Amino acid sequence: MSRKFIRRMFDGLLAIVIVIALLPMPLAAQETTIHIVQPGETLFRIGLQYNLSTDALVAANGLTNRNQIFSGQQLIIPSGNPDETAIANPLVASAPTTIHTIQPGETLGSIARRYGLTIDQLARSNNIDNPNEIYFGQQLNIWSSVENNTVAPNDSVASAATYVVQRGDTLGEIARNHGVSVATILAANTIDDPNRVLVGQVLTIPGSTGSSAPTTNVAAPTIMQGKQIVVDLSDSRIYAYENGQLLRNVLVSTGLPQTPTVVGDFNIYFRYESQTMYGDDFYLPDVPYVMYFFEGYAIHGTYWHNNFGTPMSHGCVNLPTPEAEWFFRWAELGTPVHVQV
């Protein structure tokens, strides 16, 4: 066999190898991930791992019942999620309590004061980048339990109680202790930002029906070793315990009567510093300090309302954002969560 013939054979084989190497990989091999379902997993939990909605997993796998998956089942995890920070979670918020149609002469500030909200809360919950750019006829989602068109009448103010703000007080807690709404206190005291009250500040409380003393009953821990979060639905409070010692308690909003917060013992199993969440009737970008403890039920910060002490969600536990940050920094994955009535 001549060297020339051998050389031709070698060149031919080399060409075939190069052609095969340049062939594109099958699309499925490039883009498809297979997830093996583990005991106790649900589609919602699996979706959280891959930043996918339950609907996306159902569609990719042709599932007829989203509540029936089994250990060992292989699920296709589709790629190309359009928004890796967004997750469908109808438990985060209730439907807006009011749809406000902007009238001539209104500003975002005047609308916010009317509903006991801050400009920032109203802008963020309606995806408004520039608070100065709103227009006549525009519709705004409002999460507020009370609408105040005017300041309380003089006779109410004249007979109102007064309260001196103490360290650690919030307007929500003061309002609840006096049997009035946050919006009523805001209007009576011309307060623009409900998150900024000062120790020693004297507040007028029109129509007070409660005591000026803070509540003293606290929910007890159910374990005495390590950290535990206790959510008491009866007093709308969340408690942080460590080795049986109370570290912090905060007024919260929980599920509405028709969509109550789940009761029982759970553990934090996913944490996000922020996450965009949406449902059929809301879209809330960058929900802060999210800690999931059961399915879609989560403890998280809230910027779209100030009605703490009043049920407002479809099951999640709503905290003021600074308090949510404290709990987020303090708790870790696996921290027990006890929810009681």
Report the predicted TM-score, pTM, of the whole model to 2 decimal places.
Answer: 0.55
Characterize 279-315 residue by residue with b for buried, 16 or more Cβ atoms within 10 angstroms of its Cβ, and e for exposed. Answer: beebebbebbbbbbbbbbbbbbbbbbbbbbbbbbbbb
CATH T-level topology, domain 227-340: L,D-transpeptidase catalytic domain-like (2.40.440)
Average pLDDT over residues 5-25: 59
Per-domain boundaries in the chain: 1-83, 227-340
Q: What type of residue sits at position 67?
A: N
Average pLDDT over residues 123-144: 78
Confidence of residue 211 (pLDDT cuts 50, 70, 90): very low
Question: pLDDT per residue over 170-208, tens digit each?
Answer: 777 787 777 777 777 877 887 766 667 787 788 888 765
Question: pLDDT per residue over 222-239, tens digit each?
Answer: 999 999 999 999 888 999
Task: Report the distance separating Cα 223 and Cα 265, nearest Å.
Answer: 11
Q: Residue 12: what pLDDT? A: 64
Average pLDDT over residues 143-168: 57
- Tokens (6 digits) for 32: 């498809």
H-type alpha helices, the chain: 3-22, 27-31, 43-50, 54-61, 108-114, 119-125, 154-158, 171-178, 182-189, 321-330
Task: Report the distance separating Cα 197 and Cα 165, nearest Å.
Answer: 8
Task: Report the distance separating Cα 291 and Cα 89, nearest Å.
Answer: 13
Average pLDDT over residues 252-266: 90
- Tokens (6 digits) for 189: 């005291």
CATH T-level topology, domain 1-83: Membrane-bound Lytic Murein Transglycosylase D; Chain A (3.10.350)
Q: Are 331 and 227 in contact (CB under 8 A)?
A: yes
Task: Using the structure block, give the residue that is written with the tokens 């190309």.
Answer: 80
pLDDT averaged over the chain? 77
Higher pLDDT, 229 or 136: 229
Average pLDDT over residues 264-293: 87
> Do 1-83 and 227-340 show the same overall fold?
no
